[in-house]
Amino acid sequence: MSARAGAKAHSKKGEADSKTFSWPMRVYYQRTDACGMVFHADYLSFMECVRTGLLQSLGFDLGELARRDHVLFVVQSAQIAYHKPALLNDSPTVTARVARAGQARLVFEQAVSREEEVLASAELTLACVSARTYRPVAVPAAIREKLEGLR
């Protein structure tokens, strides 16, 4: 994954252009540990916000999908590398790029960057499951088609 390239491949906040969706975040006190650095699990939370924003920008509301279509996206696996710490009051940019849109899984490459520095990079696999049974189901065709268009 070229997390650095992904972090630079955007022009406007909250738009899925250049195949990479990006969103600015802010590091508040509650996200930091005693050393003033972002707690490691919070990078995953930042990434979750951006994946949700990506789907929202394409017209898909996760709450509505759960209520109406009984479909959920759950993290099946997360491979994350921490390169440098994000610090209190930083304003990192978080990106998401669709690596693969399969029948029942979505794979995203994500990064948290401060200007040109990649702070954390990750590959996350999401499984599409039934909101009733929590068993795998097909990714809705409309979502898969739009995400494939971003590859």
Q: Which residues are catalytic?
A: 33
Cβ-based burial of 7 (10 A; exposed 0-12, middle 13-18, buried ≥19) = buried
Beta strands in 25-148 (DSSP E): 71-82, 93-101, 105-114, 117-130
Half-sphere CA count of 103, side-chain side, radius 13 A = 2
The percent helix, strand, coil of the chain (3-state, each to 5) is 30, 40, 35
- The CA distance from 117 to 112, in Å, is 9
DSSP state of 67: I
